[in-house]
Amino acid sequence: MSGVGWDELVANRCLTAVRQMRVYALQMSLAAGPVGAHLGGGLSMMEIISALYFGVLKYDVKNPEWELRDRFILSKGHGALAYYAALSLAGFIDEKDLATFKSNETHLTGHPHMDLKRGIEFSSGSLGQGLSLGVGSALALRSRGNHTSRVIVLMGDGEINEGSVWEAAMSAPHFKLSNMVLIVDNNGLQYDGTIQDVLDMGDLAAKFDSFGWTSVNVDGHDLPALLAAFQTPHERPLAIVAHTVKGKGVSFMENNRAWHHCRLTQAQFEQAMAEQVEQVRPELAEAR
Amino acid sequence: MIAFSSANIRTWSMLGSNGAFGFAALELPEIDENLAMLTADEMYFSGLERFGAKYPQRLYNIGIAEQNMVGIAGGMSKEGMNVFATTYATFASTRSADQVRVNMGYMKLGIKLVGLTAGLSVGSLGATHCSVEDIAIMRAIPNITILSPADCTETVKATLAAARHKGPVYLRLTGGQPNLPVYKSDYEFEIGKAIRLREGEDIAVIATGSMVYHSLEAAAILAEQGISSTVIDMHTIKPLDEAAILDTLGAKLLVTVEEHSRKGGLGGAVAECLAGVRVKPPQLIIGIADEFKTAADYPYLLKQFGLTGPQIAQTILQKYDEVKG
């Protein structure tokens, strides 16, 4: 047992979850059929959401309204694939429901729909609103003396083009919300191209720092580093800028703008799944 | 307990609708211990100075950031707080429309959004500060209750009623300072239940907000000419009191009067309600014409748009002569 610490066990648990969640995301995308799915931004945040649900967040699947739970707000609603995969692994969503993703009458809509019983705190889809909801949640928790729960908001880097995000970014330090954490999935691509080309926002960590946050940069695919980032000591609200790769884990999707939202064909699905096997058991892929 | 005494009613009228709201706000923490009051750098303008002094922990000044204010109100509301949020009606509705739609409409979060100085009362500041589209916007979004009190007494009533109401509310405040009083003593106010203020047979006038007073004045002028009018205070625009509207179908002319665009406001709501009715009187929609006029003071603009009592009477008379048969 020597040499294997708790942190390493947690990181391994998160990595195992990521592998399963990628498979879920691909299966859901295939099931969605011609309407397609937001694969790129779902895959870029797999390690982030895994670190959250299997390492960081406090929650109780049997009591989703538990007062002392952490409030997780997925502001980038198009991260639904990763979110539902994590909620399923965590036990909030029935695994067999994943196949209904984006079908008519499903609860697993293209952008998440408020459903606290399934662990979904707020509806999202209209970008740039989650940080304000987070500020309001954090103020409410503090006002009733709940100093235990943290409010953690996940946003996309394209999403934070929205001006109201920066209104909220000013509010959190103004109200001294040390119970707030923002993590940005900085995958560098938005719908129309690179962040630099569409709307260059410069050094995000420096921006949040100048707005009054404690900010850190982290490799958003490095689970031990991500888990550590959430432990960063902070008196001001904490902003984690997670540098990621859009479409991570599927070779033909990585850094490819076209996979922001796309239909996944059967052939593409099979190739992507083969790559998942290869990543876990390279010897099997070689044998094929 | 707020007393609806004649002295208080006089004071509220002098304060105007913003001040009356601020007065009522002082009572709200008594109604709900989880009350929070948000404002977008409009504490003084919303008449909340005394509230802020009495309840500093409950007042959250969000700064000039209305979209963020509605989002913060949404977060607080979901966590069980009873949240009011105040700003100019136009910034509450047009500037924050998407946040209103997602938080109050889609998620049904019970925010009480207070739209100050709706209509033309701040017209000297220019069209940027007037709000003549807010009813149309709020009405098109599902799940939002729209309150449009007739005067300061009703503003107090509506504020207290909003605090007791579970779902999202848009509270639209109109009128000048002093605010012309419709109600001079205590009365029964219930969300969704219109109030008949005058009984008549020839014409039915359904008015909302500041226009209730002017419509009563118009009805008095018409009475001098032997034409009798029913006047209804439609203080709740959504859900609309359809029974009260269907009760007026015996009149020869139905008139709606509002300090709002003639497109999509109370007039539109009443017309939609009656669209499927076979036998009904013609409807005259009196409101703000589909244009921006130059900046000017409130009485001047009311006159420009034909919204004073005598002008309303004149417009009604013209139509009545045409349709009475």
Residues of A in contact with B36 (CB under 8 A): 139-140, 143
The sign of the dihedral angle between the CA atoms of A115, A118, A124, A128 is positive
Omega of the bond leading into B281 within 30 degrees of 0 (cis) = no
Residues of A in contact with B32 (CB under 8 A): none
Mutate which of B67, B82, B95, B109 to test chain A, going by most A C-beta atoms within 10 A? B67
Across all residues in chain A, what is the average pLDDT?
95
Question: Over 80: is that where the pLDDT of B179 sits?
Answer: yes
Give me the pLDDT at residue A286, please: 63
Q: In chain A, pLDDT over 90 holds for what percent of residues?
A: 94
Give me the pLDDT at residue A280, please: 81
Q: Is A137's CB within 8 Å of B99's CB? A: no
CA distance A167 to chain B (A): 6
Across all residues in chain B, what is the average pLDDT?
97
Q: Is B107's CB within 8 Å of A123's CB? A: yes
Give me the pLDDT at residue A282, please: 73
Structure tokens at A208: 């949040």
Give me the pLDDT at residue A4, please: 78
Q: Is A136's CB within 8 Å of B73's CB? A: yes
| A238: nearest Cα among A150, A149, A130, A129 | A150
| B148: nearest Cα among B234, B215, B214, B22 | B234
CATH number of B6-172: 3.40.50.970
The overall pTM is greater than 0.80: yes
CA distance B263 to chain A (A): 27
Q: Is CATH 1.10.10.10 correct for B195-323? A: no
Q: Is the distance from CB of B209 to CB of B179 less than 8 angstroms? A: no
pLDDT digits (tens, 9 = 90+) for A162-197: 999 999 999 999 999 999 999 999 999 999 999 999
Q: Is B57's CB within 8 Å of A143's CB? A: yes
Structure tokens at B66: 């209305």
> What is the ipTM for the molecules in this complex?
0.96
Question: Among residues 44-103 of chain B, which lie with CB inside 8 Å of chain A?
Answer: 57, 60, 62-63, 65, 67-68, 70-81, 83, 98-99, 101-103
Question: Over 60: is that where the pLDDT of A2 sits?
Answer: no
CATH number of A6-287: 3.40.50.970
pLDDT digits (tens, 9 = 90+) for B32-90: 999 999 999 999 999 999 999 999 999 999 999 999 999 999 999 999 999 999 999 99
Question: Over 90: is that where the pLDDT of B261 sits?
Answer: yes
Give me the pLDDT at residue A3, please: 67
**Residue among A131, A133, A171 whose CB faces B62 most closely:** A171
Question: Over 60: is that where the pLDDT of B304 sits?
Answer: yes
Q: Is the distance from CB of B131 to CB of B103 less than 8 angstroms? A: no
pLDDT tier at A278 (50, 70, 90 boundaries)? confident
Same CATH topology for B6-172 and B195-323: the answer is: yes
| A82: nearest Cα among A114, A122, A112, A113 | A112
CA distance B159 to B137: 21
CA distance B259 to B286: 9
| B78: nearest Cα among A131, A172, A137 | A137
The residue extents of the domains of chain B are 6-172, 195-323
**Residue among B72, B74, B83 whose CB faces A171 most closely:** B72
CA distance B71 to chain A (A): 5
Q: Mean pLDDT, to the nearest integer, of A84-101?
A: 97
Buried/exposed code over B1-16 (b: 16+ C-beta within 10 A; e: otherwise): eeebeeebbeebbebb
Q: Is the distance from CB of B95 to CB of B126 less than 8 angstroms? A: no
CA distance A93 to chain B (A): 20
CA-nearest residue to B98 within chain A is A126
Q: Mean pLDDT, to the nearest integer, of B168-176?
A: 98
> How many contacts does A have with B, using Cβ atoms within 8 A?
94
pLDDT digits (tens, 9 = 90+) for B112-136: 999 999 999 999 999 999 999 999 9
Angle between helices B309-323 and B211-224 (to 10 degrees): 60
Pick the more confident residue, B100 or A277.
Answer: B100
Structure tokens at B274: 């009656």
The residue extents of the domains of chain A are 6-287
Question: Over 70: is that where the pLDDT of A1 sits?
Answer: no
Mutate which of B68, B77, B107 to test chain A, going by most A C-beta atoms within 10 A? B68
CA distance A92 to A85: 10
Residue whose pair of structure tokens reads 């209804």 in the numeric block: B232
Q: Is A129's CB within 8 Å of B99's CB? A: yes
Give me the pLDDT at residue A279, please: 85
